[in-house]
Amino acid sequence: MRIADIITGVCAVLMHDSVRTTFATIAVMLVAVCVFQTRSAQSSSATTSQAAPKPLLLEKNEGEQRIWREPPPGEFMLKVSPKNNGSQHLVLGTEDMAPGDEFPTHKHLGQDEILHIEKGTVHVHLGDQERDLHAGGTVFIPAYTWVSVKNAGTETVSVVFVFSAPGFEDYMRCDSVLPNEKVTPLSLEEQKGCAHEGHVIYKDLEENPKK
């Protein structure tokens, strides 16, 4: 109903004897219409501001390359995320692990993860399970499940990781730098801040200040 139509109705009602009662009813209607229009405008604005995800066709070396702050300075690449292409539901990236490199024991708060081993051999602790996995192997990590992954072989391991929702990529950016930036370590409090930002808990950060 348009505001102009309601005002016209008000004028017509003023011609009758029961003005006070009817005017109160119309006032309530006016407030309801204004609230409805305000909510509709806010909803429309929110929908417009959240742009649709951008389709991607990426080669192996294409994406957002980053370097971990901790030695040795390993590298990873973010390919799909809200900041990379507007994805609101998935995060995908790749990482190479040198012999002896490890993803220390941690658990994600709210995101499931799939880790696919493209090359090499890894030793995985996942909940109460433990085993080696080789090229072509897959690790499914439910949210809130402790996991650690270590390169158990003598060659570089290549993995692809996929998250069911955004979050952990914020930790990854917080604890890394771009290739043209200086690699500087983080303090313990900064590391904990990164973990909080990325919806993740690292066991050694909780139990031992030394990462």
pLDDT tens track for 37-68: 445 444 444 443 467 999 999 999 999 999 99
Report the predicted TM-score, pTM, of the whole model to 2 decimal places. 0.74
Q: Tell me, what amino acid is at 90?
A: L
Nearest to 96 by CA among 151, 179, 156, 138: 156
The list of the chain residues with pLDDT below 50 reads 3, 6-7, 10-11, 13-15, 17-38, 40-49, 209-211
pLDDT tens track for 162-171: 999 999 999 9
**Residue 7 tokens, joined:** 């005002």
**Residue 141 tokens, joined:** 């990590």
Can you name the residues that pair with 126 across neighbouring β-strands?
A: 129, 147
